[in-house]
Amino acid sequence: MNKLNSYIIKSFIGPFLLTFFVSIFVLLMQFLWKYLDDLVGKGLETGIIIELISYASMSLVPMALPLAVLLASIMTFGNLGERFELLAIKASGVSLLKIMRPLIFVSLFITLFAYFLADQVIPVTNAKFRALLWSVKEQRPEMIIKEGIFSNEIDGYSIKVKKRDNETKLLKGLMIYDHTDGRGNISVIIADSGYVNMSDDKQYMILDLYSGISYNDVQTGNRRRIKDTKPFRQETFKHQKVVINVKDFDLKRADESYFKDNYLTLSNKALVASIDTLSMKYSEREKVMSFAIRYNDVLDNAVKNSYKPDTLKITMLIPDSNQVHIDTIFASLSQPMKKVILNTAQRLAQQNQRILLQYQSDLYNRMVQINKHLIAWHERYSLSFACLMFFFIGAPLGAIIRKGGFGMPVVVSILLFIAYYLFTVIGKKVAREGVWRVDTVVWLPSLVFLFIGVILTHQAVTDSLLLNKETYNRILKSLNIFRFLKPSKKNNNEDTFSK
């Protein structure tokens, strides 16, 4: 039995590692497509690109592991069934569950390992990835030129821009000091407008300047007396190019601590603390909104009383509506008084409407932020559990299909995983908007597929003919649904006789 368990595990490990790295590669293509503009043609070192891809690959592991388990389990048991090894093992008195038992423990280990990565490792790599990506986006040579201040990050130059147009990339009011000769501010260029471009090899920053003046100190002698004249050259231009060498410009990495408050960079323990804090702030904000809305005196006191602790709540005596006939009282008032009451009611209603609109967006954003944290907390458990769940789908499905290799198993696995992924993505969007409970939506796809796995396992263990292809072939032959398409012998004989 030990040799059999060892053989089953060895048959599983190879396809698992292969499909895992293939899954990582396929999922990584989505990352490269998304951030292609930020990586290609920016003059980045190979080491930085590899570091970014490594961090991104680590964040894809929780999604790649369930897919790899599903593919590997289908391929393993499909190969055993195709080579009739599964039939021989069953004939020797070993049930399918006993054959699956060593891989159940392997899948359980993968599940625990996936949770450890999601809880301890991936939040750290997410913080590093976000910090490095932000540095790549913001610290490029053409992005260090800020509005209203001198930028001294490029050695030998001080550059100031009054205004930057983010749509057209036009720079207005440029002032450039050239210190490359090491003799102070001897060269100054002032331009009305200009553009910044990078050379094809990303080694030079090219400034296209328009309508400006350049000043250059041409005196090279020894200035012994303060009263000596200091000649300089002044040139006006309509268009001038300034080429700045930036090949030695170093990437300035952002501090990772700035990105550690995001829900993707927090461990589960930190997520729980963050959820409690956000929920408390949401309740306080909701309380402020409730107190800002004006009701009548009775409802005002009832709202304030509802936010008090149970030990401090006061028993409110709300008058019986049957005893207060508002319509009768209002009808007995004079017309000017009715008008005053209606105007006052309208003003209070408009005031309450403005307050609701003012707080609506703020409360919505706070609710979405809380739901994102809750989704991240539940998803780390559900994606880890998916490794074990997909094994109970793939193993019996492979035993039923009895096809190995990359043909039918890959097609079936991809279809199942796409269905699971779509349900998960749609559920996350629904949960994020607060339409449904977060825990229900996040766990529902896993529970549905677990139910499918239980059914498939039962069918495979009991050798049920429900999913057997030959069963449906026999049913179709017995029904003979194509008999209506064949010409009858009687019609053929009549046609022959008529001829």
Q: Which of 225, 245, 265 is the last residue of a domain?
A: 245
Q: For residues 67 and 416, what is the distance between their CA atoms, to the nearest angstrom? A: 9
Is there a single domain that holds both residue 435 and residue 484? yes
User: Largest Cα–Cα distance of the chain, in whole Å?
Assistant: 133
Per-residue DSSP letters for 316-363? --PPPTTT--HHHHHHTS-HHHHHHHHHHHHHHHHHHHHHHHHHHHHH
- For residues 174 and 264, state if they share a domain: no
Q: Share the mean pLDDT of the chain.
A: 78
Strands, E assignment, 25-119: none
pTM of the model: 0.67
The two structure tokens encoding residue 198: 């990078």
Name which residue leads in pLDDT, 291 or 42.
291
Is residue 297 domain-resident? Answer: no
| 264 and 133 together in one domain | yes
Checking if the pLDDT of 486 tops 80, the result is no
Rounded to whole angstroms, how far apart are CA atoms 8 and 1? 11
Residue 354 is predicted with a pLDDT of 83
User: Is there a single domain that holds both residue 332 and residue 217?
Assistant: no
Q: Are residues 356 and 378 in the same domain?
A: yes
Per-residue pLDDT, averaged over 379-393, amounts to: 91
Mean pLDDT of 246-258: 64
List, as one string, the DSSP characters of 205-219: EEEEEEEEEEEEE--
Q: What is the pLDDT of residues 308-354, one digit of tens each?
A: 666 656 665 555 555 556 677 777 778 888 888 888 888 888 888 88
Co-location of 183 and 126 in the same domain: no
Residues 394 and 267 in one domain: yes
The rounded distance, in Å, linking the Cα atoms of 392 and 111 is: 13
In the predicted structure, residue 495 carries a pLDDT above the cut 90: no
Q: Which pair of tokens denotes residue 206? A: 């090219």
**What one-character-per-residue DSSP string does 243-287 give?**
EEE-TTPPP-PPPGGGGTTSGGGS-HHHHHHHHHHHHHHHHHHHH
Domains identified in the chain, total number: 2
Contacts of residue 183, defined as CB under 8 A and 6 or more positions apart, other chains included, come to: 217
Are residues 164 and 92 located together in one domain of the fold?
no
pLDDT range class, residue 298, cuts 50, 70, 90: low
Residue 165 within a domain: yes
Q: Is the pLDDT of residue 232 over 50?
A: yes
Distances from the Cα of 448 to the Cαs of 75, 399, 423, 456, in angstroms?
Answer: 23, 21, 10, 13
pLDDT tier at 385, thresholds 50, 70, 90? very high
Percent of the chain predicted with pLDDT > 70: 74
Q: 421 and 272 share a domain?
A: yes
Q: Please compute the mean of the pLDDT values over residues 86-95 and round it to a whole number.
A: 83
pLDDT tens digits, residue range 268-290?
888 999 889 888 888 888 888 87
pLDDT on residue 115: 92
Which tokens hold the place of 51?
Answer: 């570091």
- Regarding whether 194 and 135 lie in a shared domain, the answer is no
Residue 106 — pLDDT band, cuts 50, 70, 90?
very high
Q: Do 277 and 180 lie in a common domain?
A: no
Stretch 449-460: mean pLDDT: 87
Residue 298 lies in a domain: no
What is the predicted pLDDT for the residue at 17? Answer: 92
Q: Is residue 431 part of a domain?
A: yes
C-alpha dihedral sign at 111, 116, 119, 124:
negative
Residue of 310 and 72 predicted with greater confidence: 72
Mean pLDDT of the region 419-448: 88
Q: Which of 322, 318, 324, 313 is nearest to 295 (CA)?
A: 318
Residue pair 9/103 in contact by the 8 Å Cβ criterion: yes
- 404 and 470 assigned to the same domain: yes
Residue 101 lies in a domain: yes
Q: What is the pLDDT, as a whole number, of residue 111?
A: 93
Average pLDDT of the segment spanning 253-270: 79
Is the confidence at residue 191, as pLDDT, over 70?
A: yes
Asked whether residue 294 is assigned to any structural domain, the reply reads: no
Domain that holds residue 174: 143-245
